[in-house]
Amino acid sequence: MRVEELNAAQMSTDDIEQWCDVLNAMTDSDMPGEPQWNSHRLRDYLSQTLPGSQRKLLVAYEDRGHFLGHSVITRLSDDPVGIVEIATRPEVRGQGIGKLLLRHTADSAEAMGCDTVCAEVIATTPAVGFYDRLGFEIAELEHRHLLRWDNIDWEFMETAAKRVAADYELRYFPGSVPASYADSYADVKAHLHSPEAPIVWLPEWRPSAEANQLATAFDTLRKRGMRPHIMVAINERTDEVVGLTEVVVSNQRPTRADQYDTVVASGHRSYGLAMTMKAALLLELRQREPQLHDVQTWTSPDAQDVNWVNAQLGFVHDVNWYDYEIPLHTLKKSLNDGT
C-alpha cells in the first residue's frame, strides 16, 4: 500500500471515477439514502480554491493502483486551521488506511503552515470512534435539518413569500450579487460574527464577508461547478441590503441543495424577513432547479430563532454533526505514538 499526492488538474479520468467511487461506497455504508456523488465537474470541485487558499489531495493505493481511500486538506488564506476530509472504502476499514492517510495529511498540514486540524463528522458514523481515539475533541455540535421536496407545502411558501414588511423589498440574484450591493451585503454578513447572531454552519467555500472579495468568492463557487442562488431583503429607504439567504446547488450532487448563510442585520429583525426570504428563495429553486430532492442546512442547537423558522418551513432534524478539532502537534504525537 502507498500514499501519494495528486494534482487535481492532472488527475486521469480513471482517477476521477475512482475518487467518486470511494465517496459513494462510504456514503452507501454510513449514510444510506444520501444522494450519490457523480464525476461531472468533480475535477473542478477538487482543484478550484479561493485566492490565497491551499489544498492538497492524497490517495491510498493498492499495489495494482486501486483506490482504497483518499484525503483532502484545505487551508483558507491566512487561517491557521487545516480542514481535513478522509474517505475510505468500507470493506478495508480496520487495516490502518485511514490512520495512514491522516498521518500523511498531518505532514501536509504542517507544510502548509497549519497549527490546528479540524474535521466535520456525522455523529452516527464510524468516523466518530476514529477521531475520538486519535484525540480529536468536539468543538461544536450542529444539527442537520432536511427539507424534503415532496413534503413542501407550496401554498404555505407562496403565502409566506408575500409577507414582506413595509419599507422592504425582496430581490433574487442568481450566481452573485451586483457590485452596487456588495458593500451592504458584506456588512450584513459581518453580523454573523456579532454576539447576538445565530451562528450557523459555515462551509469552507462560503462567500466572503469582505466586500472586495465577494465577487471572487462567488466566482470560485461557480468555477467549482456550484450554482449560488441568493435572495436579499432591501431597505427601500436606503436601497441597501439588510438581510440575505443563500442556497447552493452543485453539479456533483445536483439533487441536493445546501443552505448557506441566512442573516438579518440588527435593527431589521422581528419583521419576519428571514422566513420571507427563505420561502421566496425556495419558490425560485422550484422553477430553476427542478431536479432537486431536498435542501440541507446546519444550525446550532442554541440558534432558536433560526431553528423556529426552519421548522415552520418544513425542515426536519435528522442527524447531528460534530466539528472536531485538535492541535496539529498533538495529532502528530498521537499518530507517532501509535494510539
Give the pLDDT confidence score for residue 196 in this predicted structure.
Answer: 40
Burial of 48 (0-12, 13-18, 19+ CB in 10 A): buried
User: Which among 218, 229, 227 has a CA at the least distance from the CA of 277?
Assistant: 229
Give the pLDDT confidence score for residue 204 in this predicted structure.
Answer: 42
The pTM score is 0.92
Phi, psi of 155, rounded to the nearest 5 degrees: -65, -40
Give the pLDDT confidence score for residue 207 in this predicted structure.
Answer: 57
User: Which among 329, 300, 332, 292 has a CA at the least distance from the CA of 317?
Assistant: 300
Answer yes or no: are the C-beta atoms of 242 and 268 closer than 8 Å. Answer: yes
Q: What are the structural domain ranges in the chain?
A: 2-142+322-337, 153-313
Strand ranges, E, within the chain: 2-6, 54-61, 67-75, 81-88, 116-122, 137-148, 168-174, 226-235, 240-250, 256-264, 294-299, 316-327
Q: Find all residues with CB under 8 Å of 126, minimum gap 6, and list them.
A: 30, 93
Which class is 153-313 in CATH?
alpha beta
Domain topology for 2-142+322-337: Aminopeptidase (3.40.630)
Residue type, 164: V
Answer yes or no: are the C-beta atoms of 121 and 304 closer than 8 Å. Answer: no
Q: How do the pLDDT tens digits run along the chain, 339 residues long?
A: 899 999 999 999 999 999 999 999 999 999 999 999 999 999 999 999 988 999 999 999 987 779 999 999 999 888 899 999 999 999 999 999 999 999 999 999 999 999 999 999 999 999 999 999 999 999 999 999 999 999 999 999 999 999 999 999 999 999 999 999 999 999 998 866 544 443 333 344 455 556 778 889 999 999 999 999 999 999 999 999 999 999 999 999 999 999 999 999 999 999 999 999 999 999 999 999 999 999 999 999 999 999 999 999 999 999 999 999 999 999 999 999 865
Burial of 178 (0-12, 13-18, 19+ CB in 10 A): exposed
Answer yes or no: are the C-beta atoms of 334 and 102 closer than 8 Å. Answer: no
Q: Find all residues with CB under 8 Å of 191, minimum gap 6, and list them.
A: 197, 263, 264, 265, 266
CA 319 to chain centre: 16
Tell me if 2-142+322-337 shares its fold with 153-313.
Answer: yes
Nearest-angstrom CA–CA distance, 50 and 63: 35
